[in-house]
């Protein structure tokens, strides 16, 4: 905790608490879990995950034990504490009252592309099209998969699954929007 601020909004902390609230896990498993779920709107490197977990343990939000004393891999299992659960719920119950500003490098490039050779801009737009199309495909596969998560008889999704699906839908809508914009951008650059 900083001496300058009274609170921090350290998102990674809440992500780790959120997943550990489902059950104990190792740092490695948390990394895999993040990559396969929140990864498309919030990612982290393993180095940051391991150091944050250690800090959280110092702060009493999680506790850790080795899988077994014979485990040669020295796998450390993290468990959320009561204090950690409390902090997670308090954060969730405090509504976010501002907008997160975008940070999109590619738009910076486009903003200053008036001085570039239009042909090169078109080539770069084509690369982005390809990349965004492949991202869309990944998301659509994830969406297909989530449909098999429902209740075996009714097919109903749990509350948690409904929210997971919602965040995935944002990913899909974002990619669709981005591709529409890329097409528009190509039209504008060509029409010069």
Partner DNA sequence: TCACCCATGTAAGCTGTTACATGATTCC
Partner DNA sequence: GGAATCATGTAACAGCTTACATGGGTGA
Binding site for a second copy (CB under 8 A): 9, 11, 14-15, 18, 21, 37-43, 88-89, 92-93, 95-116, 120, 123-124, 127-128, 131-132, 135, 158-167, 169-171, 173-174, 176-177, 180-181, 184-185, 188, 192
Q: State the binding partner of 82 from DNA, a second copy, none, CB within 5 to 8 A by kind.
A: none
Question: Angle at CA 44, nearest 5°, toward 136 and 138?
Answer: 15
SS (H, E, C) the chain: CCCCCCCCCCHHHHHHHHHHCCCCEEHHHHHHHHHCCHHHCCCCCHHHHHHHHHHHHHCCCEEEEECCCCCCCCCEEEEECHHHHHHHHHHHHCCCCCCCCCCCHHHHHHHCHHHCCHHHHHHHHHHHHHHHHHHHHHHHHHHHHHHHHCCCCCCCCCHHHHHHHHHHHHHHHHHHHHHHHHHHHHHHHHCC
| Tokens describing residue 130 | 């390809």
User: Considering only 23-31, 83-91, 129-137, 148-156, which stretch makes contact with DNA by CB under 7 A?
Assistant: 23-31
Rule CB under 7 A: is residue 48 a binding residue for DNA? yes
Which one among 23, 72, 96, 154 touches DNA, defined by CB under 7 A? Answer: 72
Least Å from the CB of residue 93 to DNA? 19
Residue with tokens 């891999």: 73
Q: State the binding partner of 37 from a second copy, DNA, none, CB within 5 to 8 A by kind.
A: a second copy
Least Å from the CB of residue 116 to a second copy? 5
Binding-residue pattern over the window 26 to 45 for DNA, x denoting contact by CB under 7 A? xxxx-------------xxx
- Nearer to DNA by C-beta: 90 or 159? 90
Q: State the binding partner of 86 from DNA, a second copy, none, CB within 5 to 8 A by kind.
A: none
- Nearer to DNA by C-beta: 51 or 160? 51
- Nearer to DNA by C-beta: 15 or 168? 15
Question: Angle at CA 57, nearest 5°, toward 53 and 62?
Answer: 85
Number of residues that this document lists for the chain: 192
Q: Which residues bind DNA (CB under 7 A)?
A: 1-6, 8-12, 26-29, 43-48, 50-51, 53-54, 72-76, 103
């Amino acid at each position: 905790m900083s001496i300058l601020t009274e609170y921090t909004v350290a998102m990674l902390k809440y992500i780790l608490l959120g997943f550990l609230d489902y059950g104990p896990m190792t740092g490695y498993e948390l990394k895999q879990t993040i990559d396969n779920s929140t990864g498309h709107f919030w990612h982290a490197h393993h180095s940051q995950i391991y150091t944050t977990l250690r800090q959280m343990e110092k702060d009493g939000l999680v506790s850790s034990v080795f899988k077994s004393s014979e485990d040669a891999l020295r796998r450390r299992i993290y468990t959320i504490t009561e204090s950690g659960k409390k902090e997670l719920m308090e954060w969730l119950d405090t509504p976010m009252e501002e907008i997160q500003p975008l940070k999109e490098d590619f738009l910076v490039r486009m903003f200053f592309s008036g001085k570039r050779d239009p042909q090169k801009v078109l080539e770069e737009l084509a690369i982005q099209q390809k990349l965004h199309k492949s991202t869309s495909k990944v998301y659509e596969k994830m969406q297909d998969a989530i449909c098999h998560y429902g209740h075996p008889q009714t097919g109903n999704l749990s509350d948690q699954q409904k929210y997971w699906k919602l965040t995935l839908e944002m990913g899909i809508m974002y990619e669709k929007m981005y591709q529409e914009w890329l097409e528009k951008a190509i039209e504008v650059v060509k029409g010069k």
